[in-house]
A and B are shown apart, each in its own frame.
Chain A
Amino acid sequence: MLRIILKREILHNFYSMRFFVSLALVLAVFIAGSLSFIKNHESALEKYREARAQSLDDMKKDAERNATLLAVTRRAYDLRPRDNAFITDGKEKYLPNSVTFSAWNVFSFLNKSGSTNPFLTKFDDLNWSFIVAMVISFVTLLFTFDAVSGEKESKTLALTLSNPVPRAVLLMGKYLSAVLSVLAIALSGLLISLLIVHLAGLIPFTVSLAFEMTGFLFVTGLLTAFLAAFGLFSSVVSRNSNVSLLLVLSIWLLFAVVIPNSSAFVAKNFFPIEGIETVEIKVNKAFDDLNKNAPPGSWVLVSGNPFVPQHELRANIQRKRLEAEKAIRDSYYRNMFRQFERTRFVTALSPVSLFQYLTEAVVGGGYPRFRKVWDDMHVYQEQFLAFFKALDARDPKSPHWWNPFENVSTTRKPVAFETVPQFEEKPMLFADRIRPAFKYILINVLSACLVFFLSFALFVRYDVR
């Protein structure tokens, strides 16, 4: 029975004008987005390679001078433009994309200047995630809003139900057919986009890409399932299709515009954190305290001779400063992470936002990617420090007064650059991706079931005449 209804509904959808227009629009946007991505990505990669080569070159020069300089100089590690950014860029151009570190500490992160053009108002890249979040979500609602109320108006609903068709099966048929039709549209767009990107020769087709694409399709399925349930819901709460249309439009505006755009407001007002000014004050106070308790002569710095006895005191106080500042700043960063994560959790109220968080997890990009780099960077920094300390220990001339900020009081020997550990960003493992996404998948599935069940409960009582 379900098969017959499904077939009828799918054919009905396929022959409808909205299917045709949606398909045309979706394909056009996918093609435009992919072509644009190729050009953008090429230039972004070129810029990245240039900057990376420069930074490695700087590091090499420092290594040739001496190991201490190599260890204490602050460097920036820039995140590489992701190859699978055509699936979703995860808003990486607006997120922090550069980490400052030395062998002694991972200091901070920032959004590199020049990542975006300040004269352009913020916009989304035309990647898969955006197209699905804006267009496919809209199309889904458009396919379902009149599923019940429309048939009632055309008087076919009463006719259908005069046959031995259970209402549950009818509703299920309508629901599945809408989801499948929309997925067909999305899939055709995805394939064309993949073809374009592949033909451009920029991105090799790998197994992981295939997995990511499957994952993306799955997440798209979740979104459409969620929204189709909403569409059906508004279709059964109203008597005529005009009202259901207005209802779904309002719902869509709420999900796709209002909630995502109120995130910053939610973050600042519901999860406020201390400002950078407070943090600076705390740091300065910690420094003052250290200075007060430091033995006299701690700040003597004699240029020329890096091994003057007073440098031991200086190294001591510099290490203490490092620790004090690190503790304050790291706790500030943790607050930032928490504020951001909580805000995302609240805005996951909207299936569209939720979908975007899920796609980030699927491709291993966006915020989860940054967090992984940030955490991995700390592991790397410890390796780097251990490497430097071992070097220093091997130098009999060095007094081993570790000063984390200045090029004094440790080994003066150069170091072979090839032996210096380098940070390499590892792609996110499946487990890394699924862990943050799991709660979002759960929310999505549960709410979709809830809304569908609600529409079913209402449909059972629906006056079909």
Chain B
Amino acid sequence: MVFQIAKKDFLNNLLSARFIIGFILCLFLIPFSILISIDDYREKDKLFQSDRDATEKAVKQVRVYSGLRPEIFLPPEPLSVFSRGISGQVGNRVGVRLGEKPMLAAGQAATRENPFLASFFSVDFVGIAAIIFSLLGLLFSYDAFTWEKELGTLRLLMSNPLGRARFLAGKVLGILSTLLPVLVFCFLLSAFLILLSKNLSLSAVDWERIALLAVASLIYLGVFVFIGLFVSARSKTSVTSLTLCLFLWVFFAFIVPNLSGYFGESFVRVQSRDNLNRVLADLDKEMRKKFEEFANALPEPDSSHYTYLDYWSYAVRADGYKEMYGSTRSIFDRERQISAYSEPLRIDYADKKWVSQKAYLDSLIRQAQVADLISMISPAGAFRIVASAICATDRNAHERTMDAARTYRETFIGYLRGKDIFRSFLWITAARPESFLTIDAIVAKRTGGEFKTLQAYSAWAVQQKNLFERYRMLTKVKVPGDRPDDYPHLNVNDMPVYPGSRVSLLVELELNIFPLSLLIVEGIFLFYLGYVAFIRYDVR
């Protein structure tokens, strides 16, 4: 009997306008979202490849250890074509620095393009699915009882020896058997499009995740079917039921997702980023002051007092990079001592900075958590959270990546410390200590013997009005080993490699057990409510 009712409903639905239009909507919207996402992924992947190649090349071109700063590029997640999660907002580049722990990934893909385009939103497969499946679920169930009541067939049916539970079961089965093919079709269509696209290849694990996403979608669809059934069982006419269902749909699928973010922002306050930057800058200032104090306390090196002579080839950048050639032994030694003091201190200061950074980061996370919690008012919110967890594009996945990056930074520092490199000349120069010269020898070599000592050069130089001429005298003879190009690149094959952070699907789901179980419980509860309401339904 159940199956007869189900079959009748199924056939009825199949011929109805809503099925045809719903099907056409899917046929149009699903490829639309998937193709846009694939396009997006392809672009990100291209950028990722070129970025990664560029850094790999850069690492190989380093000559001194102080120049070694690994950059981690996070590959775009292939499953982001289904759910983009937060992958569009967070960056994909994590720089490993001595003076700062990685807080947020930098290098937002958005900064590569027109920044105005960031004000355009774009919807992904899950976004479309959340809208379409909920609409279909409601459209097929809102009149489950009211329509038959209006036709008078409900009374007729109930006059037969047919239990209401069985009737309800038949209805549910009929609706689901109509919608299940649509859902499966949507997934097959997207799978087909993905298989057709060249640059996107999915592993077996990814396909498992997609299958799981389909199951989650089915649960989500079920929740809305039960909402529709419940509303139908509580209303007298189809029009009432339809009106209510449509408003519920707008509320769940459009208002709650925006409301959750907006409320999250107003309930949880995040301190201003400017404030944090100021705190970090103050700490940096304090640190640099210590560097200066240390440098001033060092004994005066035997210097020529001509900066261009003392620091012949000298490059510094932020975060302690220092590379120098062609200086005197005592200047080399002075710089080595400064680095031996400054670099460990820099690492200590990174820990000090992290206290404020962590507080900021935590407030961002808290805000997002509250927003997530509010969004779970709507099954669509819970569905999106579960879906982005399945696709590994959610906040947890990102946090895991950042944790892994921070751990990697420690490993990297351990690697440097293991070599005791901060106290070595190799930190600042590729030149061998045996080759360091005295200032007189340098002057003699550079001027091609024209001046034998610094004193002689000085006597000449003070008479030169043109500063450039003073310098030019020193370039008469090219001294080997006074430029970076004279040295080979550093061999860093023993440098530790970033291990990545992907975890198994089970862990991912365990972290998101709440929204997932919420969806399931909502489904069961609504079904129960619908059942109770239908038992009391006046079929006349």
Contacts and interface: CB of A to CB of B under 8 A. Distances in A.
A84 interface: no
A120 B467 CA distance: 57
A119 B367 contact: yes
B117 A114 contact: no
Interface stretch (A168-176, A261-269, A283-291, A427-435): A261-269
A267 B120 contact: yes
Contacts of B16: 242
B261 A123 contact: yes
Interface stretch (A191-199, A249-257, A400-408): A249-257
B378 to A, nearest CB: 13
Contacts of B128: 257
Nearest to B308: A300
Interface stretch (A29-37, A65-73, A216-224, A440-448): A29-37
B473 interface: no
A116 interface: yes
Interface in B446-470: 465-468
B368 A257 contact: no
Interface stretch (B248-256, B312-320, B525-533): B248-256
Given A18-B243, A120-B371, A297-B468, A36 B21 contact: no
A218 B315 CA distance: 62
B517 interface: no
Interface residues of B, number: 79
Contact of A33 (B135, B262, B275): B262
Interface residues of A, number: 82
B269 interface: yes
B244 A21 contact: yes
B272 A340 contact: no
A265 B39 contact: yes
Given A17-B240, A21-B247, A47 B120 contact: no
Contacts of A40: 262, 265-266
A13 to B, nearest CB: 13
B395 interface: yes
Nearest to B246: A142
Interface string B407-446: 0000000000000000000000000000000000000000
B135 A249 contact: yes
A296 B243 contact: no
A43 interface: yes
Contacts of B122: 261-265
Contact of B272 (A50, A95, A121): A50
Nearest to A39: B266
B364 A119 contact: yes
B89 A50 contact: no
Nearest to B22: A246
B181 to A, nearest CB: 19
A82 interface: no
B467 A114 contact: no
A110 B120 contact: no
A111 B118 contact: yes
A124 interface: yes
Interface string B116-136: 111111110001100100010
B255 A135 contact: yes
Nearest to B268: A117
B119 A91 contact: yes
A267 B175 CA distance: 40
A249 B22 CA distance: 10
B518 interface: no
Contact of A32 (B22, B114, B118, B259): B259
Interface string B8-45: 00000000111001101100010010001001000100
A282 to B, nearest CB: 16
Interface in B218-251: 239-240, 242-244, 246-247, 250-251
B365 A119 contact: yes
A463 to B, nearest CB: 18
Contacts of B365: 119
Contacts of A17: 239-240, 243
A118 B273 contact: no
A134 B255 CA distance: 8
B300 interface: no
A398 interface: no
B86 interface: yes
B89 A116 contact: yes
Contact of A253 (B29, B278, B368): B29
Contacts of B384: 121
B283 to A, nearest CB: 17
Nearest to B361: A119
Nearest to B251: A25
B266 A36 contact: yes
Contacts of A229: none
B221 to A, nearest CB: 17
Given A54-B278, A118-B104, A242-B18, A95 B261 contact: no
Given A21-B243, A123-B262, A245-B242, A336 B272 contact: no
B85 interface: yes
Contacts of B112: 275-277
A367 interface: yes
Nearest to A296: B468
A446 to B, nearest CB: 25
Contacts of A249: 135
Given A21-B247, A297-B467, A367-B116, A122 B121 contact: yes
A302 interface: yes
Given A118-B90, A262-B32, A109 B115 contact: yes
Given A43-B269, A267-B114, A120 B247 contact: no
Given A121-B89, A123-B261, A297-B466, A257 B131 contact: yes
B135 A258 contact: no
B490 interface: no
Given A22-B247, A336-B114, A114 B131 contact: no
The 7 A-B pairs of least Cβ separation, nearest first, read A114-B273, A123-B261, A297-B468, A119-B368, A263-B120, A39-B266, A91-B119
Interface of A: 17-18, 21-22, 25, 29, 32-33, 35-37, 39-40, 43, 47, 50-51, 54, 91, 94-96, 109-114, 116-126, 130, 134-135, 138, 142, 242-243, 245-247, 249-250, 253, 256-258, 260-265, 267-269, 273, 275-277, 296-297, 300, 302, 308-310, 336-337, 339-340, 343, 366-367
18 contacts: A39-B267, A95-B119, A117-B265, A120-B89, A120-B368, A121-B89, A123-B260, A134-B254, A253-B25, A261-B121, A262-B122, A275-B112, A277-B112, A296-B468, A297-B466, A297-B467, A336-B114, A337-B116
Given A250-B21, A263-B120, 16 more contacts: A17-B243, A29-B255, A32-B263, A40-B265, A43-B269, A95-B119, A110-B115, A111-B118, A114-B274, A121-B85, A123-B260, A135-B255, A246-B18, A267-B114, A302-B467, A310-B466
